[in-house]
Amino acid sequence: MTEIDLDFSGIKALFINCTLKRSPEVSNTQGLIDISSAIMAKHGVETDVVRAVDHDIATGVWPDMREHGWSADDWPAIFEKVLASDILVLAGPIWLGDNSSVMKRVHERLYGGSHLLNDAGQYLYYGRVGGCLITGNEDGVKHCAQNVLYTLQHIGYTIPPQADAGWIGEAGPGPSYLDPGSGGPDNDFTNRNTTFMTWNLMHLARMLARAGGVPAHGNIRAGWDAGCRYDFANPEYR
């Protein structure tokens, strides 16, 4: 049997917590982040967490909104953390059956950098992996997760198998994930999925790092614009 290498030193992960609660208020979403980041750290992954609501993130879809009329914008500093990371996990609560407004703003700002290119001429997020964590006491984990994961893959992130996890309490008002008696931290389904997600993110991030990212053939915008069609056959010329 082949021995599995469990040392992920050199891999970096960033968790962006999209809670509506400013620090130091308790974030239930942070409870799930702590589980995943602890597993990563145990195996050499360098982890960082940003609570987005603690920062003055301007509204818009450009890398730096100060260049577009805003007097302040903390996103460029967060964006540097994004670019320094092999793994990005977006985590947040469910409100009205959907992702939080903070999560949506993070999506928009990530999209604002998606036109930039890496050294191979691919879109900038190629070669990185993404996942998500969702919490709440109303239905919507899968709906929120599919929105997050679609956003990440659309802008260039690679999504591994089972790249999401979440916890919800009973429908309606009730205890949140970290509240006494909620059962959240002891929920086997949530703990299993969070663990599986974490390992899948680490495995795929290391695979991509060792491979030098996604091969740069068939996905270079400059090549397409220059007339290279990468074996695309136009039906009009058949």
What secondary structure does DSSP assign to 48-85, as a single string? EEEEGGGS---SSSSS-GGGGT-S---HHHHHHHHHT-
User: What's the pTM value of the predicted model, to 2 decimals?
Assistant: 0.95
pLDDT tier for residue 237 given thresholds of 50, 70 and 90: low
pLDDT of residue 210: 96
Domain 12-226, what architecture?
3-Layer(aba) Sandwich (3.40)
Q: Which residues of 218-232 are buried (b: 16+ CB within 10 A; e: fewer)?
A: ebbeeeeeeeeeeee
**What is the average pLDDT across 87-116?**
96
In 67-166, where does DSSP find H-type helix?
Answer: 75-83, 101-111, 141-154
194 — phi, psi (to 5°)? Answer: -65, -40
Least confident stretch, 28-42, 110-124, 160-174: 160-174
Residue 137: pLDDT above 90? no
* Percentage of the chain lying above the pLDDT 90 cut: 90
pLDDT of residue 235: 67
